[in-house]
Chains A and B, each alone.
Chain A
């Protein structure tokens, strides 16, 4: 069974702090996606990582895919209140018919 475990589950920080969110699995994934979801809305894709060891940057967000393609991390530099939300990692199931999601990390950034 493919599972994605995210940590921490909750994170509450002050504006300007840095943080890292982790997504781990015992299974190899062909790719991993990171989504951000705000209350009352559906998840929105931030990035897809495909190659082991890959690093992608999106403004203040840095995403890394582990060499063995079993884990990924999201690092936010100088967090802002607008970064508040639920961060989800997801990977395709073995059949390629759906995404398996982690339980998410709820981030709260206060000013």
Chain B
């Protein structure tokens, strides 16, 4: 019974570099979410997938952020030309059913530091 896993756990990038963050959701979970969490704050929604379809990307802060879930399982969040304000913990969550109204299971997050 593996939970949600994320890799890498820590990432240090120089300003301007591209980064890719991976999320392995719980097998069979339909919904997948990405959140951004600043230190000591609550998570903020970035994007939502139902299977392979990206149904809501309204939380992505700029066009430098891109997410995909091509086969409806593993998802990747890509950030191009990273900026210092991108430094945060990026959380992935999955849910058994469609939509964001139900229990979400979170991974441990990837802590991104942009120098």
Contact = CB atoms under 8 A, between A and B. Distances in A.
Given A42-B93, A97-B48, A98-B48, A30 B101 contact: yes
Nearest to B107: A42
Contacts of B16: none
B56 A95 contact: yes
Interface residues of A, number: 27
A97 B44 contact: no
Interface string A36-54: 0000111111001000000
B103 A33 contact: yes
A82 interface: no
Contacts of A102: 42
Contacts of A92: 99-101
B99 A99 contact: no
A86 B91 CA distance: 15
Interface residues of B, number: 25
Given A30-B101, A31-B101, A42-B91, A99 B107 contact: no
Contact of B42 (A48, A95, A103): A103
B42 A88 contact: yes
A92 B101 CA distance: 5
Contacts of A103: 41-42
Contacts of B99: 92, 96-97
B43 interface: yes
A98 B32 CA distance: 10
A23 to B, nearest CB: 11
Interface in B92-111: 93, 99-101, 103-109
Interface of B: 4, 33, 35, 40-45, 48, 55-56, 59, 91, 93, 99-101, 103-109
Given A31-B101, A42-B106, 11 more contacts: A41-B109, A42-B108, A43-B43, A86-B40, A90-B42, A97-B100, A98-B48, A101-B44, A102-B42, A104-B40, A104-B42
